[in-house]
Structure 1
Amino acid sequence: MIGRIVVSDEVDETTSKIIEHGLNRYNEARVGPDPSKPIWIVCRDNKELIIGGIQGFIQWNWFYVAILWVDEDRRLSGVGTRLMAEAEDVARKNGCIRMRLATITFQAPDFYKKLGYLEVCHVPDIPPGHSLIWMTKMLDIQN
């Protein structure tokens, strides 16, 4: 029987851990421990200033690009393409056969399509007036 439900914008650490661990135990019983491995790929200029980067995760045989950022002054200069190529190389070296990412229509869906990514899900009006797009790519396995 439900005693009460509380809605808030934050919870204490104990509550957070109970909920997170509950889901993790459920998932692990079905697919084993979460194998997620964080990967950072950082691009610097010749003055060592950060001009772009990727935050990614290796999960099973997928590489998830959580964030790709290129400094606005460096866009269309090849930085993003080089970062994505490096991510795909890292993915292959770690046994990944697929890439996945999400982008928004005002961000870079055409950029990713040029790199061979395919749209697998299009969610309209996230954020309002735009769409969220999930994309994937099968990697060529190179020896």
Structure 2
Amino acid sequence: MDIEVTTEPSPEALETLSQGIQAYNRDTIPGFPEVAEELRFAVLARTSVGELVGGIRAVAFWGYLSIELLWLSESARGRGIGTGLVRAAEAFAVQHGFEYARVETTSFQAKPFYEKLGYDVFGSLENFPPGHRSYFLKKRL
């Protein structure tokens, strides 16, 4: 048996891993929803001249919208744009049949922002990144 660590796995290797875990899930829990049903999308904020000033990268599967990242340029912060981005992502997820949202943020990022939008902390991880805490939040849409 050879064990390999690679920063450039082949698409075939990644597909084999995905198919393997999906088969296991299917065999273990009949009717288990396929991960292949995931929906990847972005919500973008642009100025009137088309400059990208913020956005969300997200994926939705198993009934959950997962906000992978939210970024706003300095000029876009504090103007309600972040709230608009999250609301648009949530609405898109609901339109596609997703019932919940989740996000991970850190102590120096956006925990109060997400709480203001109705997200509740359900867990945390201390010293990640070093000297800070990561928070896991969820919301019923």
Q: Partners of 2:10 and 2:98 in 1: how far apart?
A: 37
| Identity rate, percent | 29
Gaps of 5+ in 1: none
Instruction: Rate the CA distance shift 1:37–1:14 in 2: closer, same or farther, 3 A.
Output: closer
Q: Report the TM-score when normalising by structure 2.
A: 0.85
Q: Partners of 1:131 and 1:95 in 2: how far apart?
A: 32
Name the aligned partner's letter for residue 27 of structure 1. Answer: N
Gaps of 5+ in 2: none
Count, aligned residues = 137
1:50 is the counterpart of 2:48: no
Q: Partners of 2:11 and 2:90 in 1: how far apart?
A: 36
Instruction: Rate the CA distance shift 1:26–1:84 in 2: closer, same or farther, 3 A.
Output: same
**Residue 33 of structure 1 aligns with which residue?**
34
**Residue 109 of structure 1 aligns with which residue?**
111
**Residue 80 of structure 1 aligns with which residue?**
82
Q: SS in structure 2 opposite 1:58?
A: strand
Q: SS in structure 1 opposite 2:78?
A: coil
- Deviation for aligned residue 1:7: 4.2
Mean CA deviation greater in 67-76 or 117-126: 67-76
Largest Rg, 1 or 2: 1
Q: SS in structure 1 opposite 2:68?
A: strand
Instruction: Rate the CA distance shift 1:32–1:96 in 2: closer, same or farther, 3 A.
Output: closer
Give matches, 1:1-143, under 5 Å.
3-29=1-27, 30=29, 31-34=32-35, 35-139=37-141
- Deviation for aligned residue 1:96: 1.9
Q: Partners of 2:23 and 2:112 in 1: how far apart?
A: 39
Instruction: Rate the CA distance shift 1:32–1:124 in 2: closer, same or farther, 3 A.
Output: same
Instruction: Rate the CA distance shift 1:8–1:114 in 2: closer, same or farther, 3 A.
Output: same
- Deviation for aligned residue 1:106: 1.0
Q: Partners of 1:14 and 1:93 in 2: how far apart?
A: 32
Name the aligned partner's letter for residue 33 of structure 1. Answer: E
Name the aligned partner's letter for residue 89 of structure 1. Answer: A
Q: Partners of 1:9 and 1:43 in 2: how far apart?
A: 32
Instruction: Rate the CA distance shift 1:40–1:16 in 2: closer, same or farther, 3 A.
Output: closer
Name the aligned partner's letter for residue 40 of structure 1. Answer: A
Q: Report the TM-score when normalising by structure 1.
A: 0.84
Mean CA deviation greater in 129-138 or 52-61: 52-61
